[in-house]
């Protein structure tokens, strides 16, 4: 049930996108993190967020682990905003969850009520429909539960609209004691060689903070990605590519693949 501040948002992707058993899920996430490619920080840098994919773990889990391994280089935050697209519900602007708790097989995550009020005051809406059947944010939560146990999260669905205005909306809740997780996959259903070329071009645009170069063909979560890029730009942060692969590299054939990228958002130390 959802809709009130005390409501619990139950998982919809457990058993499909990721294991439904707590023990199996914890073991899989821990193994992915233990074997992840983790890029080191340069001197004086601090991690402020990541961009990470949201497919089933068998497909994108290793690339997501590259992002979360990097995110663990950050100090423990006061809150984590998880920004993802709304695949199934039309949405303008940003929608925060109305639930007080989000549940995964690993347990319950508290929703950051202070951050939610900040976003509502800045122009976001409270709406449950974009979150009800959405997997893009949910699949991030088991990683966060293993990396930052007990830290409250704020799920935010991103729809159409001005990404720079949306970046201004989320900014009050993203002070230096907070982290941002942006959830998006890259190209869809191209052959492996074409996907690689497109994803390399997209990755270059992300690193260049070129918001206008990102469209729905480049990233299924382009709305969330562009908001994250705009926020990084306004804060003077850098986005760095950490990992770039496709489902052909992880779990499927090379004829019809999905692209996955992991990026770190870095800036001056806190």
Question: Is 38 inside any structural domain?
Answer: yes
* Per-residue model confidence (pLDDT) at position 81: 98
d(CA 159, CA 87): 9
* Per-residue model confidence (pLDDT) at position 44: 85
Question: Is 118 inside any structural domain?
Answer: yes
d(CA 200, CA 59): 18
Q: Are β-strands 79-85 and 153-158 bridged in parallel, bridged antiparallel, or unpaired? A: parallel
* Per-residue model confidence (pLDDT) at position 3: 38
Q: Among 213, 258, 74, which Cα is nearest to 148's?
A: 74
Q: What is the DSSP string of 175-221?
A: STTEEEEEE----EEE-HHHHHHHHHHHHHHHHTT-GGG--TTT-TT
The residue among 88 and 171 whose pLDDT is bigger is 171
- Residue-level length of the chain: 270
Give the H or E element holding residue 47.
strand 45-52
* Per-residue model confidence (pLDDT) at position 155: 98
Q: What is the per-residue pLDDT across 38-66, written as a single tens digit (0 to 9) for each?
A: 988 988 899 999 999 999 999 999 999 99
168 pLDDT band (50/70/90 cuts)?
very high
164 pLDDT band (50/70/90 cuts)?
very high
d(CA 215, CA 267): 26
Angle at 166 between CA 100 and CA 175, to 5 degrees: 65
d(CA 26, CA 29): 5
State the total domains in the chain. Answer: 1
269 pLDDT band (50/70/90 cuts)?
low
For residues 85 and 221, is the Cβ–Cβ distance under 8 A? yes
Q: Among 204, 182, 178, which Cα is nearest to 47's?
A: 178
For residues 258 and 186, is the Cβ–Cβ distance under 8 A? yes
Q: What is the per-residue pLDDT across 17-40, written as a single tens digit (0 to 9) for each?
A: 999 999 999 999 999 999 998 988
Signed CA dihedral, 13, 177, 43, 231: sign only:
positive
Question: Is 162 inside any structural domain?
Answer: yes
Question: Is 2 inside any structural domain?
Answer: no
Percent of the chain with pLDDT over 70: 97
For residues 4 and 120, is the Cβ–Cβ distance under 8 A? no
Partners of residue 102 on adjacent β-strands: 9, 109
Question: Is 3 inside any structural domain?
Answer: no
* Per-residue model confidence (pLDDT) at position 204: 98
2 pLDDT band (50/70/90 cuts)?
very low
When the pLDDT of each residue in the chain is averaged and rounded to a whole number, the result is 95
Question: Is 46 inside any structural domain?
Answer: yes
- Decide: helix, strand or coil at residue 30: helix
Q: Which domain holds residue 31?
A: 8-268
Q: Among 201, 235, 233, which Cα is nearest to 219's?
A: 201
Q: Among 259, 178, 251, which Cα is nearest to 225's?
A: 259
Tokens of 183: 């959830």
Tokens of 29: 């996430």
* Per-residue model confidence (pLDDT) at position 270: 57
Q: What is the DSSP string of 77-94?
A: PSEEEEEEE-SSS--BSE
pTM of the model: 0.96
d(CA 82, CA 216): 20
CATH number at residue 164: 3.40.830.10
Question: Is 150 inside any structural domain?
Answer: yes
Question: Is 31 inside any structural domain?
Answer: yes
């Amino acid at each position: 049930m959802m809709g009130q501040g005390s409501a619990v948002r139950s998982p919809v992707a457990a058993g499909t996108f990721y294991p439904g058993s707590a023990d199996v899920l914890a073991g899989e996430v821990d193994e992915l993190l233990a074997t992840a490619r983790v890029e080191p920080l340069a001197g004086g840098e601090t991690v402020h967020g990541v961009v990470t994919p949201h497919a089933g773990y068998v497909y994108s889990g290793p690339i997501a682990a590259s992002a979360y391994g990097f995110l663990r280089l950050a100090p423990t935050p006061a809150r984590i905003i998880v920004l993802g697209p709304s695949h199934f519900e039309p949405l303008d602007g940003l929608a925060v969850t109305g639930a007080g708790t989000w549940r995964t097989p690993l347990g319950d995550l508290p929703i950051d009520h202070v951050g939610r009020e900040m976003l509502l005051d800045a122009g976001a809406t409270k709406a449950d429909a974009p979150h009800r059947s959405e997997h893009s944010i949910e699949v991030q939560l088991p990683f966060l539960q293993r990396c930052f146990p007990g830290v409250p999260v704020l799920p935010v669905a991103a729809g159409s609209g001005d990404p720079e205005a949306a970046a201004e909306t989320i900014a009050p809740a993203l002070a230096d004691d907070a982290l941002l997780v942006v959830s998006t996959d890259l190209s869809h259903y191209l052959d492996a060689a074409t996907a690689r070329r497109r994803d390399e071009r997209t990755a270059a645009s992300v690193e260049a903070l070129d918001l206008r170069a990102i469209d729905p063909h480049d990233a299924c979560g382009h709305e969330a990605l562009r908001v994250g890029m705009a926020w990084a730009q306004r804060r003077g942060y850098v986005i760095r590519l950490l990992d770039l692969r496709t489902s052909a590299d992880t779990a499927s054939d090379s004829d019809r693949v999905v692209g996955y990228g992991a990026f770190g958002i870095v800036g001056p130390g806190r």
